[in-house]
Amino acid sequence: MTQKTETADLSDYSIGYNAISSYFADRVFGPKAQAKYLNKISQNAIANAVGHGQLIDKDTANEVAKGMQEWALELGATHYTHWFQPLRGTTAEKHDSFFEPTGIDTGIEKFNGKSLAQQEPDASSFPSGGIRNTFEARGYTAWDPSSPAFIMSKAGAKTLCIPTIFISYTGEALDYKAPLLKSVAFLKQTSLDICHYFDKKVQACSISLGIEQEYFLVDAQQFKGRPDLLFAGRTLIGNSPAKGQQLEDHYFGSIPIRVLGFMADFEERAHLLGIPLRTRHNEVAPGQFECAPQFEDMNLAVDHNSLLMDLMESVAHDHDLKVLLHEKPFKGINGSGKHNNWSIITDTGVNLLSPGNNPEKNLQFLSFFINIIKAVHDHRDLLRASIATAGNDHRLGANEAPPAIMSVFVGQALEKVLNDFEINAKAGKKTDSFSPINVPNIAAILFDNTDRNRTSPFAFTGNKFEFRAVGSSDNCSSSMVVLNTIVANQLKNFKAEIEKALKVDPSINAEDAMKTILRHYVSGSKHILFGGNGYGEEWKKEAKKRGLSNITTTPEALKAYLSKPSIELFVNNRIFSHRELEARTEIRFETYVLRLQIEGRVLNELVSSYVIPSAVNYQKTLADNVQAMLSIGVKKALCKSQIEIIEFLATQINTVFELDKKMTAERAEANNIENAEKKALAYCNKVKILFDQIRECCDEIERVCDDALWGLPKYRELLALN
Ligand code: ADP
Ligand code: MG
């Protein structure tokens, strides 16, 4: 059931109580709209571009533009934009109108193949990591026909959005999408090559991704009262409420009415834009929620997730709510992530990660399964780097899901299969994988072959891998580019090894060659498998013994991008040039510093404009009271507690003031460092550590201070949505 809202810009979206299928993707120029507005040649050209990466010629582009414009105008669009994903997160758009004046009082609506295919946005202030010096400052957007155009409606303004890549004049990628498309193509090809050992009929593979998105919602008025949420996206101070998530009574609980209203609106608009949302629920922390779409082709899934984040923010605005996509908005309760569910599926409908009933005999499954494990094993530090951001450091490395140690969870049953396979043993007694529910009247259902482990960063869940360590505000491309590339590279090496073995000894068959190679892989990489509690201290010790690193900060993690194996991996497979890789890493260091710079400044403001004045006011109230008590003859001994509070506050004020000064000085020093990596390290090791100490003092003051004199909305107010 959808909730009606009064705001004008939503009226266009008031679908009433119709089935979702009746309006799904109505604002998308997908195959259905194309069939109505394009001739057969243009439709086929797009289908070939999507399916086989074929280029679309100029005449066809003009035809497509004509049909697309007609469709968009009928739906009320006045402007169009090339929609892209620059490297500073979020999405970028620059709107141009279709309208073109032809005289003093006449005009027409115009749009052609050139406007569709390519634009040159004035984008000199997008980060490029030094790639775009002023003499070659031009950046181009180019149409990605594999992601359909859509019409975004905000505040009554309707804009035709055309998904594009963003590249420099010299051809270097300046966005998230371009390398993602390259890595997807690489993995499709190498997967297909391996499939052909098993089934020559397979003509193509696709890479599937389903992204679960966690987020917090807070009341917009409360939000506005918190400079830290406003500017840094997370609270920098705040005393934990008496009741947090201890009872876990929020998880899967009934969704607060106000939140449900938001969700219904937001889902309706997402469905109109073709985002196949299916799931909504409360998450573990109070005020935390999750939504998940059905999985899609990776390129589309990533576009849809970017669009979803944008949409959530604008719909929340209509409900006087604020969406917090930060990885750790509140201390003491869970942070948010994105679970990236990932698999490879053939055009014959086989999920290559589906173990079937007899995984031990399913060599095709084992080939993919083992190669993925080996890829993660060999490039685990790079995978860790792919999710490194200032925000995500609060999840990874803190005592919460998932840990910063990269490991793979496959479940007991499959771990046994791997072990047996390694020693070539006959599969012994099978671990009970299918267990009937022993409740009368309830049908026995098939259970997954894998149990669940919520603490693993990279878990096999039945017929897909789930990369759970991605940050909630991240663009998934960074991590997916790494995952696709390491797996594709591994499959490429696997094929080369098979071919070599067959050449060396023509008497063996491909299957035997594969088994020998795979066995070898299992032996070399099985110490990345871990099924225990990923949060525990024990695991940290055990991981160290196994040689698995535990990199808890972004500046340390990012170094893995520029290690020799990483450079070879990306450059040899033409995913990134060396220059692109350096530029991107530099941007990541810079972004880290920018985030911490903002946090430092906001913390200064909180300390000097909120915390200290509140403390002083309360001291004054108490001091006045003590004086009044004494003046009417109350014994001094009876003023003892109040004097103690005054003294306690004085100590805290002095401490926090000194710490704040020290932090400002450290920041000034770090700001003098030119080199991006060194600067990031200084911010991490010298500035950030003071944040926690400052926070401790502030939280003590908040705990003691008179509520009426506390100038900031407190945790209990921020987290009490219903
Ligand atoms: P949960 O992990 O919360 O139990 P599910 O496992 O049912 O939820 O699904 C989570 C996400 O995984 C959804 O987006 C779903 O579409 C996606 N998913 C399911 N199967 C696959 C697959 N084969 N490849 C990629 N994603 C998948
Ligand atoms: Mg999941």
Q: Label residue 133 by pLDDT band (50, 70, 90).
A: low
Distance (angstroms) between ligand 2 centre and the Cα of 458 equals 11
CA distance 66 to 44: 16
Distance (angstroms) between ligand 1 centre and the Cα of 308 equals 17
Query: ∠ at Cα 677 (232, 681), nearest 5°?
Result: 65
Name every residue whose Cβ is closer than 8 Å to that of residue 362 and which is 6 or more positions away in sequence: 355, 356
Q: Minimum-distance ligand to the CA of 339?
A: 2
Q: Whose CA is nearest to atom 3 of ligand 1?
A: 212
The whole-number pLDDT of residue 16 equals 54
The whole-number pLDDT of residue 52 equals 81
- CB-based burial of residue 449 (10 Å sphere; 0-12 exposed, 13-18 middle, 19+ buried)? buried
The whole-number pLDDT of residue 240 equals 84
Task: Report pLDDT digits (tens) over 273-282.
Answer: 999 999 998 8
Mean pLDDT of 347-356: 96
* Topology annotation, domain 592-718: Four Helix Bundle (Hemerythrin (Met), subunit A) (1.20.120)
Q: Minimum-distance ligand to the CA of 290?
A: 1
Q: Do domains 184-348+365-576 and 592-718 have the same CATH topology?
A: no
The domain ranges of the chain are: 18-175, 184-348+365-576, 592-718
Distance (angstroms) between ligand 2 centre and the Cα of 341 equals 7
Atom of ligand 1 nearest to the CA of 463: 23
The whole-number pLDDT of residue 498 equals 98
Which residues of 461-614 form beta strands (DSSP E)? 465-471
CA-wise closest residue to 301 among 264, 352, 337, 338: 338
pLDDT at 98 over 90: yes
Q: State the architecture of 18-175 in CATH terms.
A: Roll (3.10)
Q: Minimum-distance ligand to the CA of 345?
A: 1
CA distance 604 to 691: 10
Distance (angstroms) between ligand 2 centre and the Cα of 322 equals 25
pLDDT at 516 over 70: yes
pLDDT at 401 over 60: yes
pLDDT at 415 over 90: yes
What end-to-end distance do the CA atoms of the chain give, in Å? Answer: 19
* Topology annotation, domain 184-348+365-576: Creatine Kinase; Chain A, domain 2 (3.30.590)
Half-sphere exposure of 373 (CA within 13 A, CB side): 27
CA distance 211 to 111: 34
Q: Label residue 4 by pLDDT band (50, 70, 90).
A: very low
Atom of ligand 1 nearest to the CA of 293: 14
CB atoms within 10 A of CB 309: 21
CA distance 228 to 233: 7
- Asked if 145 contacts 29 with a C-beta cutoff of 8 angstroms, the reply is no
Distance (angstroms) between ligand 2 centre and the Cα of 77 equals 37
The model's pTM: 0.93
Output the ligand 1 site: residues, CB below 6 A: 208-210, 212, 292-295, 341-343, 351, 461, 463-464
pLDDT at 433 over 50: no
The whole-number pLDDT of residue 50 equals 87
pLDDT at 408 over 60: yes
CA distance 243 to 237: 17
Distance (angstroms) between ligand 1 centre and the Cα of 211 equals 8
Atom of ligand 1 nearest to the CA of 343: 24
CA distances, 682 to each of 97, 539, 559, 596 (Å): 46, 29, 15, 11
Task: Report pLDDT digits (tens) over 218-241.
Answer: 999 999 999 999 999 999 999 987
The whole-number pLDDT of residue 3 equals 45
Among 206, 295, 304, 468, say which to mutate for ligand 1: greatest number of ligand atoms within 8 Å of CB: 295
Distance (angstroms) between ligand 1 centre and the Cα of 341 equals 6
Strand partners, 168: 139
CA-wise closest residue to 551 among 379, 683, 405: 405
Q: Minimum-distance ligand to the CA of 466?
A: 2
Q: Whose CA is nearest to atom 24 of ligand 1?
A: 343
